[in-house]
Amino acid sequence: MSPEPAPSIAQLLAFYLEAGVDCALMDEPVNRLADIDVAPALPAAEATSKRPVLASMKPTTPARPPAKVEVAPEVAIAAAREVAGAAPTLEALHATLKNFEGCALKSTATQLVFAAGNPQARIMFVGETPGRDEDIEGLPFVGAPGKLLDRMMAAIGLDRSTVYIANVIPWRPPGNRTPTPQETQICLPFIQRQIELVNPDILVTLGNPATQTLLRTKDGIMKSRGRWVDYDTGTRKIRAIASFHPEYLLRSPGYKRMAWVDLRLIAKALQALPACGA
């Protein structure tokens, strides 16, 4: 049997992409199988002379980046609560989040994805995590699901100048993996404070993870969507409603009819709001 031909670089890259490895973390590859403390085998002549191994013969594996000190999730959650709660404005919260070192997702993301839209908006949409496009641009919902969200909002007369948009998790998890429950809990105080500071009249959670996390329900989206519930911002109670995540609607367009029902409920609630300053 003839051996399989070695895969080409393009095939290898396609394999990695398929497996979710679509970003480089460092400029240089790190051989994690190399043990930098073990001297390499001596060249034959030197091995027989039994000379001590010289420092210059140490393997040239690039130095590993200094190991980050892992913070226990409870400690990181407590720190997140403290610093998020202390931020008096959205700008301060943005700066605090940028400097926060308690969530490992920060180290693999390209940048923080804080928010888009109008901080004075009366309606706020919250998704789950930034994807690849958002990670590159630093803005939420700019990829294909974001384009659909724009069309959904336009259908009820909204656009990014009249809404505020953020995510529960502000850093893209590597390869778009699902955030761990710990990562979600560490990021939760920040999005809660963000909602409190924007102080919208209506909160819309998009998809299961954002809904379950913010509206504290275990129900799946089929059950939780399209129902008004109270959301306590910490300062006051506002109306909140869950709907489908646009990414889900792209995969299952059959649910767009139900999403339209939710959008009409939202439009009606917006119309019923007292005029600003009234």
- What residues make contact with ligand URA under the rule CB under 6 A? 127-131, 134, 140-141, 145-146, 167, 247
CB nearer to ligand URA: give 80 or 249. 249
CB of 167 to ligand URA, least distance (A): 5
DSSP 194-245: HHHHH--SEEEEESHHHHHHHTT--S-HHHHBT--EEEE-SS-EEEEEEE--
Residue 117 vs 130, nearer CB to ligand URA = 130
Contact 166, 140 (CB under 8 A): yes
CB 27 to ligand URA: min, Å: 27
Length of the chain as a residue count = 278
Q: How far is CA 65 from the centre of its chain?
A: 24
Crossing angle of helices 73-86 and 181-198, in 10° steps, is: 10
Minimal distance, residue 145 CB to ligand URA, in Å: 5
Chain mean position to CA 128 = 6
Nearer to ligand URA, 73 or 138 (CB): 138
Name the minimum Å distance from CB 28 to ligand URA.
Answer: 30
The distance of closest approach from Cβ of residue 112 to ligand URA in the complex, given in angstroms and rounded to an integer, is: 12
Nearer to ligand URA, 179 or 200 (CB): 179
Judge contact between 34 and 61, C-beta under 8 A.
Answer: yes
| Bridge partners (DSSP) listed for residue 127 | 167
Rank residues 189 and 207 by Cβ distance to ligand URA and give the closer one: 207
Nearest residue to ligand URA by CB is 127
- 94 and 103 Cβ atoms separated by less than 8 Å: no
Q: Which two tokens stand for residue 154?
A: 């336009």
Count H helices and E strands in the chain, helices first. 12, 6
Closest CB to ligand URA among residues 30, 144: 144
Q: How far is the CB of 143 from ligand URA (least distance, A)?
A: 6
When the beta carbons of 42 and 90 are compared against ligand URA, the nearer one is 90
Partnered with residue 124 across adjacent β-strands are: 164, 203
Q: How far is the CB of 134 from ligand URA (least distance, A)?
A: 4
